[in-house]
Amino acid sequence: MTKFTFAQIETLMQPFFSRPKESAPLSLAQRTLDAKRSKKIARYIINGLSKLEAFYILLPIVITVDIPEWECYDFQAIDLDIPGIEDLGLLSLPNSATFWIPDGQHRAFGSIQAQLEAPGLVANETIGVMLIPDAGGQKRQQIFLDANQFGIKPNKSIISLFDHRDQYSEIARAVLTTVEVFRDRTALEATNIHPKSGDYFTMNSLRESCKLLLIDAEGDLQQEAISFWQSVAENHPHWKLLQTSNDPTLRQRSIGFNALTMCALAIVGQQLRQRQQSGCIANLHRIDWQLTNPDWNSCKLNNRIVKNRGTINTMAAYILNQITS
């Protein structure tokens, strides 16, 4: 394990991205480089260094080293007389050694792009590099697979819960902890609610609906969101029932907790604010929120609720008409 500065990466790793593409399928050992993905990484690095109290995290780059059997390497250990640090030293490899990046080529190329774009900012930044001996290049495909097959991208609910750089995730977390109806009833790690779950909402739908609610809003956006969802909780008949009873069938027979409804309510809230009619949210009791209400058929396909831009706008228009007429 070692580390390179971004300036060193620019010099040492450029050849990795200019070598001819492998024509033999069985020789492939890394993904085709996606320049857009690397550009996002470069922007992430630069943003992490440009903003006060911001930071960035990059996992180590994994490089395999294939040394021909007639060649040898040299390792000069540095004795620091510290238990557990016996393998610290200087590794010298022959010019005939072949290198591959089975994991981390986008991080490497992103680092190069960051160095080219903002050398004064990132030149002395470092990234870890793990060197793995691979005689004959026999391991590099398996190393790529082992490094990537168990990785799971966090879903939108987890992102909404953990992302402290996103304004609307921050607002959604404030709503979650302030508005009683969402406490202990919101799935924090799932985007879909299991039929046997005790949750009624999802974190990602809360974040998405807060973003829709706050379009063109001014002032204290967090308080605006909290006030709106508190008003919904106080006036939506099924949300009120949720807080006063323990009916396990409520979610199955109501459309009131669906992500589609959350987004539609948010659009209604945004339009009421523009019309200066926010008090009309008190009329949510006029609507039949039972799933069997035929008025919801326009939001269903094969008797299942469908959430897309069209059904969100259709439901929002229906709710708005019902509570303002």
Same domain for 223 and 311?
Answer: yes
Arithmetic mean of pLDDT, 276-289: 97
- The count of structural domains within the chain is 2
- Lowest average pLDDT, out of 34-48, 194-208, 242-256, goes to 242-256
By CB atoms closer than 10 A (0-12, 13-18, 19+), residue 26 is: exposed
Judge whether residue 185 has pLDDT over 70: yes
Same domain for 253 and 310?
Answer: yes
Pairing mode of beta strands 304-305, 300-301: antiparallel
- Lowest average pLDDT, out of 27-36, 44-53, 73-82, goes to 27-36
Q: Is there a contact between 232 and 265 (Cβ–Cβ < 8 Å)?
A: yes
Judge whether residue 12 has pLDDT over 90: no
Last residue of a domain, one of 148, 166, 194: 148
- Report pLDDT for 20: 59
Same domain for 165 and 255?
Answer: yes
Q: Tell me the backbone φ, ψ of residue 251, rounded to 5 degrees.
A: -65, -35
Place of tokens 């303002």: 324
Same domain for 93 and 195?
Answer: no
Q: What tokens does 305 get?
A: 């609720």
- Integer Cα distance of 300 and 311 in angstroms: 8
Q: Is there a contact between 175 and 230 (Cβ–Cβ < 8 Å)?
A: no
Same domain for 28 and 102?
Answer: yes
Same domain for 181 and 302?
Answer: yes
User: What is the domain range of residue 199?
Assistant: 156-324
Of 236 and 85, the one with more pLDDT: 236
- Whole-model pTM: value is 0.82
Same domain for 99 and 181?
Answer: no
- Report pLDDT for 22: 56
Same domain for 90 and 236?
Answer: no
Q: Is there a contact between 215 and 272 (Cβ–Cβ < 8 Å)?
A: no
Amino acid letter, 226:
I
Same domain for 276 and 319?
Answer: yes
Q: What tokens does 270 get?
A: 């945004």
Same domain for 69 and 112?
Answer: yes
Last residue of a domain, one of 111, 129, 148: 148
Last residue of a domain, one of 115, 148, 181: 148
Same domain for 170 and 98?
Answer: no
The pLDDT tens digits of the residues spanning 13-48 come to 887 776 655 544 555 566 788 999 999 999 999 999
- Report pLDDT for 309: 96
Mean pLDDT over each residue of the chain, to the nearest integer: 90
